[in-house]
Structure 1
Amino acid sequence: MNITRKKLAIILMSVFGIALIGGLTTVIALNSADIKITFMDSGEEEAMSSIMIETGDTRIYVDPYAIDSKYDKKKADIIFLTHPHGDHYDQDVIDRIKKDSTIIVAPTSCTDIFTANNATHEVIGVAPNYTGTAGGISFEAIPAYNINTANMGHLKSYNWCGYIFTIGEYTILQTGDTSCIPEYEDIAGEIDIAILPIGWGCSNMGTEGSLEAVGIIQPTHVIPIHYGPYPETFDEFVAGCSTQYPDLKIHKTTLYVF
């Protein structure tokens, strides 16, 4: 990637400790962009990995899983899937939010699963380092895997993906399930908003790994995800950032940029 980093100017926010932004609407000035990012509550477990990005007339979902029925009317133009695990790939939800023209983007290593269940839809297979467009949205697929090879759930050889979206002049990273991986050095300083899986467990970064990832990637904003079974990691992450990255903006709910 070769993207010029943009500084984001905060014009209205609710601040708790380290720029922790929650209950009030958060508005960030991004000049040429018009973006709303929603970390969606789950009907079964909150704080998993479902993200909705709205920009102009385009609505993007990433890993929609067990989301509330209130989203059923918010149909997807594009659905990005990072890997086929059941807390990321939920065909029942996809059936609720897709429409005839919905495009599905997913790792080539498992597109047979997604294509079989969405036979009438365009399915774009990708692998790490793939760059392209879907529905007018530019994106790059990046690796998503666990460093500890003893965990057989997320091996690098599976070629599962995270995604970097470029909307206007700004970049949004959704990592997928992953450790803090060496490939983040390649995008250091190029990401405006990083969506990171901070929870403990075999598939995510945990507090230590997510703090390390912030230090490498150097985003201006972070939306922590995938800590539902481990809510204490959110507080640990915020506490760590307050010491190590005092200028970082952490968003717990919905981020508006325009």
Structure 2
Amino acid sequence: MSVDYEGITFERLGHASVRIATEDGTVVYVDPWGEVLADEPRDGDIVFVTHDDYDHYDPDAIEAVAGPDATVAVYEAVDTSGLGFDVVDLPYEGETSVEGIDVRSVPAYNDPDGEHVDDDGNPYHADGEVIGLVLTIEGTTIFVPSDTDFLPHHESMSADVFVPPIGGHFTMDRHEAADFARSLDPALVLPEHYDTFEPIETDEVAFADDLEADGIRVELF
């Protein structure tokens, strides 16, 4: 299923893999993962990667979605030495431009004093391991926070389209994601990173109902 917003088409390929296409034919992928790709479209103009977990940084999946002249933009902490593309490094925090798209990198992590920690008490995603992305495409701001909790620095942000993880366990759950969405007040929310495997199963319909009761549009794309 695809969803349109202001001339931009969003498609969740599965898990946290998202395809974004503009009316002029520019195609962007975020965190493509081979396990959820149905084919090898090789139509991507830009591929973004937020961190090096296997379900977000998958060189074979990048190869499958990237066009022959694609630009691959990856968080600078990821070892891309084995990737067969020239890579644009994305900072942990800051702004850059990738093929005409303004990109803001935002720190993403699990609160070490929160619930999303392993059996040893270590956060699944420590500070410094992951970035979220705010992409400005044809005047629309798209916020993909990646694998994170809802953190204090998020409270000052805004976006037109919000693409949060909602599965819990490794990331914020649907309740945290709903609070996050309310703080952003986006025009559209497109949840991801849920129901791929047992620990992140959730009630996505309840998530949508909670936000739509507050007047926020949600599409389960």
TM-score, normalised on structure 1? 0.74
Please, which runs of 5 or more residues in structure 2 have no aligned partner? Answer: 114-120
State how far apart, in whole Å, the 1-side matches of 2:62 and 2:161 are: 25
2:117 equivalent in structure 1: none
State how far apart, in whole Å, the 1-side matches of 2:219 and 2:44 are: 23
Higher relative contact order (CA 8 A, sep 6+): 1
Q: 1:157 aligns with which of 105, 110, 128?
A: 128
2:118 equivalent in structure 1: none
How far does residue 91 in structure 1 lie from its aligned partner after superposition? 1.8
State how far apart, in whole Å, the 2-side matches of 1:147 and 1:61 are: 27
How far does residue 220 in structure 1 lie from its aligned partner after superposition? 1.5
How far does residue 146 in structure 1 lie from its aligned partner after superposition? 0.7
Q: 2:65 aligns with which of 97, 102, 114?
A: 97
- Residues 2-50 of structure 1: CA deviation (Å, up to 9, x unaligned): xxxxxxxxxxxxxxxxxxxxx6x7554x3xxx31111113xxxxxx100
Q: 2:181 aligns with which of 204, 214, 230?
A: 214
Q: 2:193 aligns with which of 217, 220, 226?
A: 226
After TM superposition, where is structure 1 displaced by more than 4 Å over at least 4 residues in a row?
A: 25-28
- Residues 169-225 of structure 1: CA deviation (Å, up to 9, x unaligned): 2111111100001111221xx311000000121x21102211210121111110010
- Residues 136-171 of structure 1: CA deviation (Å, up to 9, x unaligned): 21211111111135333311133x211111112211
1:237 equivalent in structure 2: 207
Larger of the two Rg values belongs to structure? 1
Counterpart secondary structure, 2:180: helix
Please, which runs of 5 or more residues in structure 1 have no aligned partner? Answer: 1-22, 42-47, 254-258
Q: 1:148 to 1:237 in 2, by over 3 A?
A: farther
1:139 maps onto 2:103 in alignment: yes
What pairs up with 1:118-129 in 2 under 5 angstroms? Answer: 118-119=83-84, 121-129=85-93
Native 8 Å contact 2:212 2:218 kept in 1? no
TM-score, normalised on structure 2? 0.86
Counterpart secondary structure, 2:154: helix
Aligned residues: 209
Q: 1:138 to 1:242 in 2, by over 3 A?
A: closer
TM-align CA RMSD:
1.9
1:205 equivalent in structure 2: 172
Native 8 Å contact 1:206 1:233 kept in 2? no
State how far apart, in whole Å, the 2-side matches of 1:90 and 1:234 are: 26
Native 8 Å contact 1:139 1:163 kept in 2? yes
Identity over aligned pairs, percent: 23
How far does residue 101 in structure 1 lie from its aligned partner after superposition? 1.9
Name which of structure 1's ranges 135-144 and 97-106 shifts more when overlaid on structure 2: 97-106
